[in-house]
Amino acid sequence: MLSSDNGKSPQVSRCLSCLFPVILSLLFCSQAYGAAKKIDVVDRSKAKEVIKGEKHKFPLIDQATEDSIDKGYDRISNTVISAATWLDSFFDSNRYTAEANRTRAQLKLMAGVENDGEFDFNPRVRIRLHLPGTKNRFNFIVTANDDEDFEVDRGNNALSSRDNDSTLSGALQYFYKQTESMNLSASAGISTSYVYAGIRYRGLYDYGSWQGRFTSRLRYYTDDGFESRNRYDIERQVSANLLFRSTVEANWEESKNGIPHAVIFAIYQVVRIDRAIVYDWGNYLETSPSYQLNDVVFRLRYRQRFYRDWLVVEVAPQVAFPKEFDREFTPGIIVKLEAEFGYQSYQQQFNNIFSF
């Protein structure tokens, strides 16, 4: 995590650095919204739409053969999207939870030892109340020690100072657009330390057997000003029970210098419907005071349901090589127990995706 700069930068330079990530986020959002603006709100269980280019007729191929090619292509794309969505829901990833439009509550008990060698215990609570009387567009969210939108258990490698923010907050989320190809929402909330408001965009991009996903969130906080958080995933299902994902993240905060970012490679292995493993390799970088590699982390996350469908246990051993410890071998481990209220079974969806 980057610390605040004690000096004062020139005003012109500061304004330029502030505007760059905001313009970048708005550019991505406007382009993707233009591609998806004609798509109506759809039922996620009945549609698998992604942002695609125009179709042109193949030369020297009859219409039946062309239709068969398109159906095969769409079947591969839909399998990749469905597998990624199921895994994100099983691992409680923000890629899934930030767009969940149903009532659910979660209690997380996290304990572990990370880079600093100290034992930590962190209870976390997240409650999402779906408001059906608002045409399925509003959610009320209450969190304690939790960030609703981006990963929260990276310890010293958090890309934002709010990833480990131990505050109680309440927020109202409004879904402006919900389709398979894109999701656009706005939220406003208040915590014990600040008030905030912002927008979030997510778009899917189809590359055949590969799928791309761009997520951008822009918020204004009364205590620290603007914050922009951006992530691009590219993923594919490489076998019946393996999914590969590579992720690039870049975050910017008005109150801090530099743009911390990360490049992460992950392989998801589905063991069976109640257990799965993630093997990931994360590279965490910073641009201030100079461009440098801050940490390299190798982690294994084993996760399974525990006696009941609504109880989940996760064990995540890791090895890090942080710059602050002169790249020395630094082991760590995180153990989590989660209870989810409002749990819905994904048995049928699992059977439709994974056929082994």
Evaluate whether residue 338 is within a structural domain: yes
Evaluate whether residue 196 is within a structural domain: no
- For residue 60, what pLDDT is reported? 56
CATH number for the domain including 87? 2.40.160
d(CA 194, CA 162): 11
Structural domain total, the chain? 1
Evaluate whether residue 298 is within a structural domain: yes
Q: Are 194 and 223 in contact (CB under 8 A)?
A: yes
**Residues 273-298, mean pLDDT to the nearest whole number:** 92
Question: Is 76's pLDDT higher than 50?
Answer: no
- For residue 313, what pLDDT is reported? 92
- For residue 17, what pLDDT is reported? 46
**Residues 252-262, mean pLDDT to the nearest whole number:** 91
- For residue 11, what pLDDT is reported? 44
**Residues 196-213, mean pLDDT to the nearest whole number:** 91
Strand partners, 168: 144
Question: Is 266's pLDDT higher than 70?
Answer: yes
d(CA 201, CA 351): 30
Question: Is 130's pLDDT higher than 90?
Answer: no
Q: Containing domain of residue 85, as a range?
A: 20-99+107-124+202-353
Q: Would strands 242-253 and 308-320 be described as parallel, antiparallel, or unpaired?
A: unpaired
**Residues 49-55, mean pLDDT to the nearest whole number:** 41
Question: Is 268's pLDDT higher than 70?
Answer: yes
DSSP 8-state code for residue 282: E
Question: Is 317's pLDDT higher than 50?
Answer: yes
Highest mean pLDDT (candidates 96-105, 130-139, 168-177): 168-177
- For residue 3, what pLDDT is reported? 39
d(CA 100, CA 339): 17
Evaluate whether residue 279 is within a structural domain: yes
pLDDT digits (tens, 9 = 90+) for 78-112: 555 677 877 887 887 878 778 877 787 888 888 88
Average pLDDT over the chain reads 75
